[in-house]
């Protein structure tokens, strides 16, 4: 919405998903790779406790299964860390300009309302 105005169908009226499983399919259909990546991380986080807790360790019989589950869990956690770091870097590099002094926002909650009202009137009534 910073680069160009968004239609209501792709911003406000988008169907709301409370579950990451159908949201992954919906985000792929709508062509939103970032949303799909976040929902994949949420789906993998559902299965991560199974990998951590449900493999009994016995050096003779289940050592290979233990190693496979350990490294698969580490790979999932590293993938999630990469997504978090990429999100932070993207937000820091491409954040929208904010024309109000941050100290003013910290001191007065009314300043937040005035800053938002100023942005609404500058953009022609559309946030």
What pLDDT shows up at residue 23?
87
Q: Is residue 1 part of a domain?
A: no
Is 52 among the domain residues?
yes
Question: 47 near 12, Cβ under 8 Å?
Answer: no
Inside any domain, residue 3: no
pLDDT at res. 105: 59
3-state secondary structure the chain: CCCCCCCHHHCCCCCCCCCHHHHHHHHHHHCCHHHHHHHHHHHHHHHHHHHHHCCCCCCCCCHHHHHHHHHHHHHHHHHHHHHHHHHHHHHHHCCCCCCCCHHHHHHCHHHHHHHHHHHHHHCCCCC
On whether the CB atoms of residues 37 and 46 are closer than 8 A, the answer is: no
Give residue 83's pLDDT.
Answer: 93
Q: Which domain does 59 fall in, by range? A: 8-122
- Residue 119's pLDDT is 54
Contact present, 96 and 116 (Cβ < 8 Å): no
Can you give the length of the chain in residues? 127
Q: Say if residue 39 is exposed, middle or buried (CB neighbours under 10 Å; 0-12, 13-18, 19+).
A: buried
Residue 2 forms part of a structural domain: no
Establish how many alpha carbons lie within 13 A of residue 24's alpha carbon, considering only the half-sphere containing its beta carbon.
11
Residue 118 confidence (pLDDT): 60
Residue 110 is predicted with a pLDDT of 66
Q: Is residue 67 part of a domain?
A: yes
**Is the residue at 15 inside a domain?**
yes
Mean pLDDT over 26-30 rounds to 86
* Each residue's pLDDT tens digit, 38-68: 999 999 988 888 877 766 677 788 888 888 8
Count structural domains, the chain: 1
Report pLDDT digits (tens) over 59-96. Answer: 788 888 888 888 888 999 999 999 999 988 888 887 66
Comparing C-alpha atoms, which of 47, 96, 103 is closest to residue 73?
A: 47
Query: What is the average pLDDT score of the chain?
Result: 77
Determine, yes or no, domain membership for 116: yes
């Amino acid at each position: 919405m910073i680069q160009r105005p968004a239609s209501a169908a792709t911003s406000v009226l988008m169907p709301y998903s409370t579950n990451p499983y159908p949201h992954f399919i919906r985000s792929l259909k709508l062509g939103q790779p970032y949303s799909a990546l976040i929902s994949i991380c949420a789906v993998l986080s559902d299965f991560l406790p199974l990998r951590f807790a449900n493999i009994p360790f016995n050096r003779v019989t289940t050592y290979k299964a233990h190693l496979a589950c350990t490294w698969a869990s580490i790979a999932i956690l590293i993938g999630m860390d990469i997504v978090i770091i990429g999100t932070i870097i993207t937000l820091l590099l491409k954040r929208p300009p904010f024309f109000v002094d941050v100290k003013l926002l910290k001191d007065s909650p009314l300043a937040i309302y005035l800053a938002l009202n100023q942005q609404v009137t500058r953009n022609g009534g559309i946030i």
